[in-house]
């Protein structure tokens, strides 16, 4: 919700062409009116697709109700009315205001020599930019409490229970990651065991951590049959209170830490994951 990524995944022998292509798209996209009109239809179909996917739709709804009027509460895809009203000129203005050297990070991972690639990147992205002066003023979001119900004719009841999390730079972020692993971060987590394995109330149940520049969310999701929703909510709240009232045991803590370390190491096997991590580290830290 806070950044846009332009990326290409190419054979190492095509790296030069890949960088040139990305730079050309980044700097020189014309936003031709006919192409914008076609792409608007694609985005409108994406919005309809999300509305037909209860899990995606619920997460969007939950974030909107949590952050309300703050920009973080807005859907990444936008609203139907705003997409339909969008024109070429505002797109060009947005690019000029926000795609400035001070706000852009270029990251790369793979089989290449550092010095030649750095030289090419400096040539492709280091020249004069056609940019406007933009505002970097930020206002941290306020988390809004409440219960929200949206009736839909579905086979399941989809539930999100969330609370304020931490920002990317918060010193407690790693503790929150471990806590999330204990709560609902895998098949050995408390929620998975209590709600799915012991009682068979849900197929999909998990918790997640989302960090932003100056705020964050901890969210629990579950999909259950409608008559089981009240019981599932009670169990979720019970596990949240349990975390609050009683320290996590050493064995469970070590298991959660080991799981996170394993996920980190497995992620390093993917060049895309390495690239993404490099960019995020540079942006946020």
User: Does 136 have pLDDT greater than 80?
Assistant: no
**Alpha-helical regions (H) of the chain:** 15-28, 33-51, 54-67, 80-85, 88-98, 114-125, 173-184, 190-191, 229-245, 250-267, 271-284
% of residues, the chain, pLDDT over 70: 96
Digit-coded pLDDT (tens) for 220-266: 999 999 999 999 999 999 999 999 999 999 999 999 999 999 999 99
pLDDT confidence bin for 185, thresholds 50/70/90: very high
Contact 31, 88 (CB under 8 A): yes
Look up residue 11 and give its two tokens: 């054979």
Digit-coded pLDDT (tens) for 71-88: 999 999 999 999 999 999
Q: Does domain 12-137 bear CATH number 3.30.830.10? A: yes
Q: Which of 31-35, 56-60, 240-244, 266-270 has the lowest mean pLDDT?
A: 266-270
Contact 166, 172 (CB under 8 A): yes
% of residues, the chain, pLDDT over 90: 82
pLDDT confidence bin for 131, thresholds 50/70/90: low
pLDDT of residue 106: 93
CA 268 to chain centre: 19
Residue boundaries of the structural domains of the chain: 12-137, 157-267
pLDDT of residue 285: 82
pLDDT confidence bin for 25, thresholds 50/70/90: very high
User: Does 126 have pLDDT greater than 90?
Assistant: no
User: Does 66 have pLDDT greater than 90?
Assistant: yes
Look up residue 113 and give its two tokens: 């020599």
User: Does 132 have pLDDT greater than 70?
Assistant: no
Section 144-162 average pLDDT: 94
pLDDT of residue 128: 63
pLDDT confidence bin for 186, thresholds 50/70/90: very high
Task: Find tokens 């951590």 and name the residue.
Answer: 209
Q: Tell me how far apart the alpha carbons of residues 58 and 221 are, in angstroms, rounded to a whole number.
A: 9
Q: Does domain 157-267 bear CATH number 3.30.830.10? A: yes
On the question of a common fold for 12-137 and 157-267, the answer reads yes
Q: How many CB atoms lie within 10 A of CB 113?
A: 7
Q: What's the mean pLDDT when you consider all of the chain? A: 93
Section 48-67 average pLDDT: 95
Section 99-127 average pLDDT: 89
pLDDT of residue 101: 80
pTM: 0.88
């Amino acid at each position: 919700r806070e950044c846009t990524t332009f990326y290409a995944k190419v054979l190492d022998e095509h790296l030069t062409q890949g960088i040139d292509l990305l730079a050309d798209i980044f700097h020189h996209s014309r936003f031709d009116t006919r192409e914008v009109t076609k792409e608007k239809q694609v985005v409108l179909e994406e919005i309809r697709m999300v509305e037909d996917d209860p899990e995606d739709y619920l997460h969007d709804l939950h974030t909107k109700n949590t952050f309300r009027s703050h920009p973080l509460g807005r859907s990444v895809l936008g609203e139907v009315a705003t997409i339909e009203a969008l024109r070429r000129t505002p797109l060009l203005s947005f690019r000029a205001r926000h795609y400035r050297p001070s706000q852009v990070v270029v990251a790369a991972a793979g089989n290449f020599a550092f010095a030649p690639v750095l030289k090419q990147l400096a040539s492709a992205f280091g020249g004069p930019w056609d940019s406007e002066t933009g505002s970097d003023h930020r206002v941290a979001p306020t988390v809004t409490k409440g219960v929200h119900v949206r009736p839909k004719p579905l086979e399941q009841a989809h539930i999100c229970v969330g609370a304020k999390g931490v920002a990317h730079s918060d010193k407690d972020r790693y503790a929150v990651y471990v806590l999330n692993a204990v709560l609902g971060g895998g098949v050995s987590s408390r929620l998975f065991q209590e709600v799915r394995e012991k009682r068979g109330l849900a197929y999909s149940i998990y918790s997640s951590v989302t960090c932003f520049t100056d705020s964050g969310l901890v969210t629990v999701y579950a999909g259950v049959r409608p008559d089981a929703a009240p019981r599932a909510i009670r169990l979720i709240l019970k596990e949240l209170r349990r975390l609050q009232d009683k320290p996590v045991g050493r064995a469970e803590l070590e298991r959660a830490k080991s799981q996170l370390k394993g996920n980190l190491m497995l992620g390093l096997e993917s060049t895309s994951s390495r690239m993404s991590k490099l960019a995020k580290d540079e942006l946020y830290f």
